[in-house]
Amino acid sequence: MSIYIAFRIVRNFIRRLDPQAPKVYMLNDQDWYVAYGPYQAIAKAMDDTGMSRSECLPDYSPDEVPVPVSPMELERLIFTDDKDKRPFAEELDRRISAGVKFPEMFASTEY
């Protein structure tokens, strides 16, 4: 593991603990959203898709909410676009640095 990846893991662990930092939430088998909390991610997904809460979160009971993707998972999951592939952690850093407004859809296997 490179020092850069180790640094990113530590930074994302700290970010995960910070209530003011955006986090990536996996809502179902194919959709990830970036938001400041799970309820914000759910509301954005419902607004984007027009689906109900149970349709957006088919694997969660009505009283459960998704937890942020772990720093290790942010390194393991790969974001792919027209240009290249990179870890979710790198893409999250890119969007934060670019001043992207959250919440927003982060990734989907359906696109």
Q: Can you give the pTM of this predicted structure?
A: 0.86
Where do runs of H (alpha helix) occur along 1-111? 3-17, 38-49, 53-56, 71-76, 88-97
**Whether pLDDT at 1 is above 70:** no
Structural domain of 53: 3-108
Q: Specify the amino acid at residue 111.
A: Y
Number of domain units in the chain: 1
How does pLDDT run across 59-78, given as a tens digit for each residue? 999 899 999 999 889 999 99
Report pLDDT digits (tens) over 3-14.
Answer: 878 877 887 777
